[in-house]
Amino acid sequence: MRPIAVTGALGQLGSELCRQIGADAVGLDLPHFNLTARRSVLDRLGEIRPRAVINTAAYTGVDQAQREPDRCRAINAGGVAHLADACRRIDAVLVQISTDYVFGGDAARRSPYRETDPPAPQGVYAATKLEGERSAAACRRHFVVRTCGLYGHPGPRSPGNFVETMLRLARERDHLRVVDDQLCTPSYVVHVAAAVRFLLSTDRYGTYHVVNTGETTWYRFAEAIFQIAGIRIALEPVTTAQYGLPAPRPAYSVLDTAKYHSLPGSLPMPPWRDALRKYLDARQDLGPANE
């Protein structure tokens, strides 16, 4: 059987996918695999001839993207176009991992976004991820999987995640300010990876929202992290404006997963608090990340 290629294999979602897929996985990442080099992408995937390519590689520096939009676009849009081209040539399925940030233009919204809702990206990162979705659609057999706030045991090239950042900052400070006016659903990579694998077992191509269940703010998520971990620290809720980040963020980007769950045999996505507890328990077993 032809293998499954996972790009961004050294990141937290890519490494988790490789772990779950096992011997059938071929992990691809820098420096030996560069999404922005079209000829290299076509040649390498032509050699491997995978039955599917799962693209977890991305430029994820939301604020930095405002300063270097060309580089962000080359990876998040141009790189996906190269993958779609390669997948068409070798008759492979393309799975493009995308983000809740393609929404967020409606600050007053308080109902989860469906796949059919019109995107309204804010900022360079969000816009280029939407461009990447459209590039992926050039491949006839494709999935676009939108998810949110991923966390898990960091891979070798992972920049970290919100959970690890909070735990690190709690060791360095006795007071933290956390944004409390952005509603979303942080999601555990173990659950997202399993859902991606399930989708690949079907031929129900298209766009899907895959996140844990429920919604929270980053402040309430931080509260849960410290409560479950047994850490005492002073937390101060602040607004996005008070925090003063360079790039805009969605005020509301909760995703509706009804389409994914309508598929026969789809795997459950546990509530976000249960998923967080599962990660923190696993983290203790594996040893603290990035320490």
* Structural domains in the chain plus CATH codes: 4-286 (3.40.50.720)
- Across the range 149-166, mean pLDDT stands at 89
- Residue 159 confidence (pLDDT) above 80: no
**Using CA of residue 235, residue 241, residue 244, residue 249, what is the dihedral sign?**
positive
pTM of the model: 0.95
Section 52-78 average pLDDT: 98
Cis peptide leading into 31, omega within 30 of 0? yes
Mean pLDDT value of segment 27-49: 96
Across 275-284, average pLDDT: 94
Q: What is the pLDDT of residue 191?
A: 99
Selection from 63, 55, 253 nearest residue 148 by Cα? 253
**208 catalytic per annotation:** no
Q: How sure is the predictor about 289, in pLDDT bands with cuts at 50, 70 and 90?
A: low
Q: What is the 3-state secondary structure (H, E, C) of the chain?
A: CCCEEEECCCCHHHHHHHHHHHHHEEEECCCCCCCCCHHHHHHHHHHHCCCEEEECCCCCCCCHHHCCHHHHHHHHHHHHHHHHHHHHHHCCEEEEEEEHHHCCCCCCCCCCECCCCCCCCCHHHHHHHHHHHHHHCCCCCEEEEEECCEECCCCCCCCCCHHHHHHHHHHHCCEEEEECCCEECCEEHHHHHHHHHHHHCCCCCEEEECCCECCEEHHHHHHHHHHHHCCCCEEEEECHHHHCCCCCCCCECCECCHHHHCCCCCCCCCEHHHHHHHHHHHHHHHCCCCC
Percent of the chain with pLDDT over 70: 98
Q: Which residues pair with 111 in a beta bridge?
A: none
Summarize the confidence of residues 123-152 as an average pLDDT. Answer: 98
What rounded mean pLDDT belongs to the chain? 95
In the predicted structure, residue 61 carries a pLDDT above the cut 80: yes
At residue 104, the pLDDT reads: 85
Which residue out of 59, 113, 125, 188 is catalytically annotated? 125
The pLDDT of 168-192, averaged and rounded, is 97
